[in-house]
Chains A and B, each alone.
Chain A
Amino acid sequence: MVKYTIKRIILAIVSILIVSAITFFVMNIIPGGPFNKEKATSAEAQRVLEERYNLDKPLGQQYVLYMNNLIHGDWGISLHSGRDIWGEISSRFKVSARLGGMAAVVAIIIGLILGSVAALTRNKWPDRLIVFLTTLGTAMPSFILATLLLLVFCLKLGWVPVWSSSKPNYVLPIIALSLYPMAYITRLTKTSMLDALNQDYIRTARAKGVPAWKVIFKHALRNALIPVVTYIGPMVAYILTGSMVVENIFTIGGLGSSFVTSITNRDYTMIMATTIFLAILMVVANLLTDIAYKLIDPRITFE
C-alpha cells in the first residue's frame, strides 16, 4: 500500500511538472513577448521590465524561476487587468468550488438513488425510464443543456431569475453541470448493484432472514459504491471543464468563466496560471480517488 501510494504520488508530481512545462514552453512559442504592445515601449523600459520578470534569462532558467515563484505563491500578474493572478484565481475559485461542489453532491446522490432503483426494478418500467433518461443525459453536452435551460426557464418562462452575484440562484447551473456525471453514476451504480445482488453473500443474508432494506443498503449498496468511487476523479475533471462554459453561459463570475475570458483576451499569463491551477486540482483529485479506491476495497491487490 505504502509503495503504491508513493508510486502514485510520484506519478502525480511528474504529470503536474509535465503540464506546467508544456504550458510554460508552449506559451513561450507564441510570437511577441508579454510587453510587446502596440504602443512601443522605450528600449530602456523594455529592458527593466524584462529584468523584473526574468525575461532576459534563458528559457530553462525562466521555467525554474516561474515554478519557484508559483510554489511561493507568486503567480505573476494578469496581462489584461494587471492584477495579481493568485488573488484573482483564489477569489474566483471560491465561486466555482461552491457551484462545482454542489453539482458533484447532487450528481452522486441522485445517481446512486436512480442507479439502485434501476437495478432493483430491472426490466420493469422504472428501469426502462431511467435507462432512457441516462442515455439522453450522456448525449447532451453541458453547454447545450445550459443554453437550452437558460433559454427556456430563464428567458421564455421566467421561472428562474437570471444569475446575479448578490442573489445567486444555483438551480439551473447545477442541473447543467451535474446531468452528465449523474447519468454516468446511475449507469455505474446499476451495473455494480446488479453484480452485487447476484453475489453469494446476498443470498446468505436473505436466507438467514435479514430484512430486505438491510440487504439492499448494508450489503448490496455498500459494495456497489466501490466502482462509483473510481469515477470521482474523472467527475472532478468533467465538472471543472464543464464549469468553463456553464459559468460563461449563466454569467457566473467563477474561475471557469474567467478562463474563457482570458482565452478571448489572449491573456497569456492568466491562461497559463489557470491551466496549471486546474491541472493540479485534477491530478490531485485523481490521486486521491485512486488511493481511496485501494483503501476501501481490500480485494484489490497492489502491484
Chain B
Amino acid sequence: MQGNGNEELKKKQFLSAQVDLSKFNSAQFEAATDEEKKQQDVMGESTTFFKDGMRRLRKNPLAMASIIILLLIIVTIIVAPHIVPYKYYEIISVDGVRDKSASNLAPFTYSKLETQYMKKTGEKLFPHILGTDSLSRDYFIRVIYGTRVSLSVGIVASVMVLMIGLLYGSIAGYFGGRIDLIMMRIVDIIYSLPDMLIIILLSVVLNQTLAPFIAGTVLESLGTNMISIFIVFGLLYWVSMARLIRGQILTIKNNEYVLAARCIGTKNGRILRRHILPNCLSVIIITTALQVPSAIFTESYLSFLGLGVSAPLTSLGSLANDARAGMQSYPHRLIVPAVTICLIVLALNLLGDGLRDAFDSKLN
C-alpha cells in the first residue's frame, strides 16, 4: 500500500511544493513509543500525597528499623504458637502425667521427668526456650501470648479512640457555633479529669460488677479487666483526638474548595467525607500511631497494679508483675517482658515520629 502511494505522488509536477516522499521511509513516520514520549517530559512523574510520604518514610532509617522490628515481633507472635507445642495455660506434662518437677526451670533445660522420658523413648522434646514459671508453664509461650494481648489492647483501644474522636471532633468542628461550644465544654471537663485515677477506679469497680453480665459470652475469656480497660479508653481517651480533629476541620472548612462544594449543593455528610476528612488524614494517622504505645503503656501499668487481664491469660505487664516475686533468682523472667514492652513502645514511638516527619507537610 505504502509503496503504491509513493509511486503516484512522484508523478506530480516538479515545481510543486509537495514534499518528495521518496526520500523518507515509512519507519520515520511511526508514532513515538511511550518511552520516547517520556524523554520529552520536563517534569518528574507526578506523585500522590501517599506515595510522597512513603518515599520520605523509606529514607528514615529509624522508622524503617522500627517497622522491621514490629514486623518481626508480629510474625513471631503469629507463628510461634503453631511451632511451640506448649499452651500458655498448660502445666507441663510428660506422657500424660503432670510434671511436678518442671517448675522454675532455667532457659533451655529439661525437668527430671522430661530427661527420663527422652532417654527412654529417644524422642526429643521441644526445649523450654525461656524455661518455665513457678506453675510449670512454658515461659516462652506465655511471653508470646502476653505480647499478643498487649499489642491487641493497644491497637483495639487506639482504633476505638480514633472512631469516637473522629466522629465527635468532626461534628463539633464542622457545625461550629453553639453545638461546638457545648461539645467542647464537655471535652474540656473530661480533659481536666485525672484519667489514670478514673481508670484505676473504674477497673476496680467494673471488676466486681461486670462479671455476671459477661458470664457465658465470648467476652468472658477476655476477662473483666480487659473490658474495663476498653470501656475506660472509650470514655476518656478520645478527648485529645476529638480536639485535634476539630482544630483541623476548623482550618480546612474555610478553604475555597469546601465553599465551592457547598455552592453546588453538596450535602454536609459528603463534604465531610470527601473534602474535609481526607485532608486531615495525616494528622489522624500520626496521632493514632502514637496512641498505640500510650495504650500499651496504660495496659501494662494496670496489669502491674494487678488490674490487668484475668489469669490464665496474661499480658506483658502482668508477666513483669508476677516475675517480681522471684526476681533475684529468676531475673530473666522479669527482663524478657520488660524489654519486650520497651522495644514495642520504642519502635511504635519512632515509627510515629517518622510518620509525622513524612506526612505532616506543615513540618517540612
Contacts and interface: CB of A to CB of B under 8 A. Distances in A.
A and B: bona fide binding partners: yes
Interface of A: 11-12, 14-15, 18-19, 22-23, 26-27, 29-31, 135-136, 138-141, 143-144, 147-148, 150-151, 155-156, 237, 241, 244-245, 249, 259-260, 263-264, 266, 271, 275, 278-279, 282-283, 286
Interface stretch (B16-24, B82-90, B197-205): B197-205
8 contacts: A19-B193, A22-B198, A23-B201, A135-B350, A147-B338, A259-B200, A279-B193, A283-B194
A31 B208 contact: yes
Given A26-B201, A30-B205, A263-B204, A148 B335 contact: yes
B192 A263 contact: no
Contacts of B349: 135, 138-139
Nearest to B296: A141
B327 interface: yes
Interface in B172-198: 188-189, 192-194, 196-198
Interface in B300-357: 300-301, 304-307, 320, 324, 327-328, 331, 334-335, 338, 341-342, 345-346, 349-350
B201 A275 contact: yes
B297 interface: yes
Contacts of A155: 327-328
Contacts of B196: 237, 241
Given A151-B327, A237-B196, A135 B189 contact: no
Given A15-B189, A147-B338, A244-B305, A30 B346 contact: no
Interface in B261-314: 293, 297, 300-301, 304-307
A143 B301 contact: yes
Contact of A29 (B188, B209, B307, B335): B209
A176 B324 CA distance: 16
A95 B306 CA distance: 23
A44 to B, nearest CB: 28
Given A136-B346, A147-B320, A11 B304 contact: no
Nearest to B297: A141
A18 B300 CA distance: 27
A296 B334 CA distance: 45
B145 to A, nearest CB: 19
A264 B306 contact: yes
Contact of B324 (A30, A140, A141, A249): A249
Contacts of A244: 305
A143 B349 CA distance: 19
Interface in B192-227: 192-194, 196-198, 200-202, 204-205, 208-209
A122 to B, nearest CB: 16
B194 A147 contact: no
A12 B346 contact: no
A189 to B, nearest CB: 18
Contact of A147 (B198, B208, B327): B327
Nearest to A236: B194
A131 to B, nearest CB: 10
Nearest to A276: B197
A214 to B, nearest CB: 32
B64 to A, nearest CB: 16
A140 B196 CA distance: 17
A18 B189 contact: yes
A96 to B, nearest CB: 14
A195 to B, nearest CB: 13
Contacts of B300: 141, 143-144
Nearest to B350: A135
Nearest to B201: A275
Given A15-B193, A147-B320, A151-B331, 9 more contacts: A22-B198, A22-B201, A139-B293, A143-B304, A143-B320, A148-B334, A148-B335, A237-B196, A263-B305
A141 B301 CA distance: 8
Contacts of B192: 11-12, 15, 283, 286
Contacts of A278: 194, 197
A269 B293 CA distance: 33
Contacts of A237: 194, 196
A243 to B, nearest CB: 11
A58 to B, nearest CB: 20
Contacts of B338: 144, 147-148
B188 A271 contact: no
A14 B342 CA distance: 37
B305 A147 contact: no
Nearest to A274: B197
Interface string B89-123: 00000000000000000000000000000000000
A286 B188 CA distance: 12
A271 B201 CA distance: 8
A22 B200 CA distance: 12
Given A135-B349, A139-B345, A263-B306, A147 B197 contact: no
Closest 10 pairs (CB-CB, A-B):
A139-B346, A282-B194, A241-B196, A15-B192, A139-B345, A144-B338, A30-B208, A143-B304, A26-B205, A279-B194
